[in-house]
């Protein structure tokens, strides 16, 4: 999917779901809201690097959805809220500050898995 690249319309849908709860998501991922909007309007694709970060965010949303097993839960909003708060296990860093790289997304995913399994963060 990364090689094929993500369509800007699909990216906008994913980002908008999270942005409702945390408008910093575009900046945190290093993507321009206006650029994604412009590309969505003309049915274009994002770059491979942008696609990779967007798919990483979608994966984090999916992780929350699969671990909560609650169809009624708003996983994007829960994730956005959780990422905005400092996490002691990350040295007080906010997870949203880490998701701009794939390595950072892996750290966030691991911490998220720990939190959702009932561990302390």
Has residue 93 been placed in a domain?
yes
Report the pLDDT value the prediction gives residue 98, as an integer from 0 to 100: 96
- From the centroid of its chain, how far is CA 24? 11
Nearest to 49 by CA among 1, 95, 2, 104: 2
Report the pLDDT value the prediction gives residue 117, as an integer from 0 to 100: 77
Has residue 32 been placed in a domain?
yes
Looking up tokens 């990422």 gives: 83
Q: Which residues, in sequence order, are CB contacts of 17 under 8 Å at separation 6+?
A: 61, 76, 77
Per the structure, the complete domain to which residue 98 belongs is given by 8-116
Has residue 3 been placed in a domain?
no
**Mean pLDDT to the nearest integer, 29-34:** 93
Report the pLDDT value the prediction gives residue 32, as an integer from 0 to 100: 92
Q: Which residues, in sequence order, are CB contacts of 62 under 8 Å at separation 6+?
A: 75
| Residues 8-31: tens digit of each pLDDT | 999 999 999 888 877 799 999 999
| Residues 65-116: tens digit of each pLDDT | 888 776 667 899 999 999 999 999 899 999 999 999 999 999 999 999 888 7
Q: Which residues, in sequence order, are CB contacts of 13 under 8 Å at separation 6+?
A: none
Overall domain count for the chain: 1
Has residue 1 been placed in a domain?
no
């Amino acid at each position: 999917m990364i090689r094929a690249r993500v369509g800007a319309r699909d990216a906008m849908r994913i980002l908008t779901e999270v942005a409702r709860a945390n408008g910093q998501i575009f900046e945190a991922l290093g993507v321009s809201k206006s650029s994604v909007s412009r590309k969505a309007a003309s049915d274009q694709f994002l770059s491979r690097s942008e696609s990779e970060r967007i798919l990483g965010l979608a994966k984090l949303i999916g992780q929350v959805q699969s671990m909560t097993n609650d169809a009624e839960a708003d996983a994007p909003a829960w994730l956005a809220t959780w990422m905005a708060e400092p996490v002691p296990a990350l040295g007080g860093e906010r997870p949203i500050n880490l998701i701009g790289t794939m390595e950072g997304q892996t750290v966030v995913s691991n911490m998220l898995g720990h939190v959702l399994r009932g561990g302390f963060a």
